[in-house]
Structure 1
Amino acid sequence: MIRTVHSLEQAVTIAIADSNPLVMSAMSELFQRDSRFSLLATSASAEGFLANVSRVPAQVGIIDWALPAMGGAKLLGLLREQADAPRMVIYGQQSTDVHLAALAAGAAGFVSRSDPVETLLDTCIAVAAGKMVFPYLDVRELQRNPLQTLSRRELDMLAALSKGLTNRELSRELGITMNTVKFHLSNLYDKLSVKSRAQAIAFYYSNRTGGKLSETGEHREGAEGER
């Protein structure tokens, strides 16, 4: 398809990252054949995507949530630090909480790979226009889930806490001071209505994976004696 100069000026610029070459090929062809879009760059990793959009800014980025090597959540965290970062659409497998995790990380949209391809195209148009598109999001459930009241830093803290890290290890992991760790932990406990790190870890697993507090995490908490 031959595009005129006018159509290129009006096209939504797109950057894509997916480790599956078949998916990448199909998406590339999809966007290249649609005159509403201009595909600027493709990559097979989060690092490649970050390098691409740093060199050639795009309006919309499309990635798989499980993108190697750093993953979607960390990639979105890095993109938030860039003034001209693309608005992000997660294109991946639908599960019980991927769309919520993507929303919490700062994505603007989510599309399941089982949806018709038109859904991906329409979502990118809507996201480029400044809209949020999460078709699987139940707002009532979102409001009932305390995890959705946490800031990005508090979510990072809770995820790191679930590994059984001590306050000192949390400080190194997140690149913050010990006092800041204690400040975030205090806020975290208040928002989750818990009184200890063991309870916070139990809450994390019961709400994110449906599992129980791991023996490792429980033992670590007791051994370190940290709240």
Structure 2
Amino acid sequence: MTPPVRPVRILLCDDHAVVRAGLLALLGGEPDIEVVGEAGSGEEAVALAHRLGPDVVLMDLQLGPGIDGVEATRRIAAGTGTGAGTANVLVLTTYDTDADITRAIEAGATGYLLKAERPEELFAAIRAAAQGRTTLSAPVASRVMARMRNPRPTLTERELDILGQLSQGLGNRDIARALFISEATVKTHLGRIYEKLGVDTRAGAVAVAKEQRLLP
């Protein structure tokens, strides 16, 4: 007698309860997929991943207050804390900018799926992630390929933070206060950003960043 196949154990992480309820209902119809936990924040996702030891964490990127989905992915992928092993993280989000995709993949995400995908695509991606195989939504895969063919400037996470503040019209002093760094440090980072983007003004940096979709 063939032993029953253990279902893929899933932890859902999304800060919207309605979205989690929808995913729970959707995944409940798949006999080989079992939702073992729900998290509404990045911190909760990390704690539950360590405690429950799921096969896959379905992770949103924007999670409101606290750490975002990228940082939660990094901690889960690194296996920090205590618990039963490391889960594979499958990003499920509406965001498809180069910055979001790059940060998530660098943080250790196994796959990157957009919420606009059909349910069948989500089920297949979950099963693939459970086996450590990568799945990318078609638009995401296209962006990754385009970036490989035409490499864009690589900005550090801190430079992206400053660029994001810059795009909101903040001056050096306000950026320094927001990021808890000195104005001198802000100026140093701005110089590197200008050099990497091939510009010499704040407006030029923001324009190039938007054109190349470097900002979340």
TM-score scaled to structure 1, two decimals? 0.66
Q: Percent identical across equivalent pairs?
A: 27
- Tell me: CA distance 1:99–1:205, structure 2 relative to 1, closer, same or farther (3 Å): closer
Return the alpha-carbon distance in structure 2 between the equivalents of residues 86 and 163 of structure 1.
Answer: 36
In structure 2, what is the equivalent of residue 225 of structure 1?
A: none
Partner of 2:92: 91
Question: 2:71 aligns to what SS in structure 1?
Answer: helix
Q: Residue type matched to 1:56 in 2?
A: L
Structure 1: any 5+ residue segments left out of the alignment? 210-227
2:23 aligned residue (20, 27, 35):
27
Distance 1:37 1:153, change over 3 A: farther
Give the counterpart of 1:186 among 157, 181, 191.
191
- 2:169 alignment counterpart: 164
**What is the alpha-carbon distance in structure 2 between the residues aligned to residue 193 and residue 133 of structure 1?**
33
Which residue number corresponds to residue 116 of structure 2?
A: 114
2:54 matched to 1:58? yes
- Amino acid across the alignment from 2:164: A
Contact kept? 2:59, 2:69, Cα under 8 Å:
no
Q: Which amino acid aligns with 1:174?
A: L
Per-residue displacement from partner, 1:124-174 (whole Å, max 9, x unpaired)? Answer: 232333333222122443243625x22333222211221233334333333
Q: State yes or no: 1:77 paired with 2:71.
A: yes
Q: 1:81 to 1:92 in 2, by over 3 A?
A: closer
Counterpart of 1:217 in structure 2 is none
Alignment partner of 1:42 is 2:38:
yes
Shift of 1:192: 0.9
Preserved CA contact (<8 Å) 1:17 1:62:
yes
Match of 2:152 among 146, 154, 157: 146
Q: Does 1:130 align with 2:132?
A: yes
Match of 1:105 among 98, 103, 108: 103
Q: In the alignment, is the contact (CA less than 8 A) between 2:98 and 2:213 conserved in 1?
A: no
Q: RMSD of aligned C-alpha atoms?
A: 3.4
Give 1:131's aligned amino acid.
R
TM-superposed CA distance for 1:102, in Å, is: 3.1
Which residue identity is paired with 2:115? R
Worse-matched range after superposition: 27-36 or 133-142: 27-36
Secondary structure of the 2:132 match is coil
Q: Give the superposition deviation at 1:35.
A: 5.0
TM-score by length of 2: 0.69
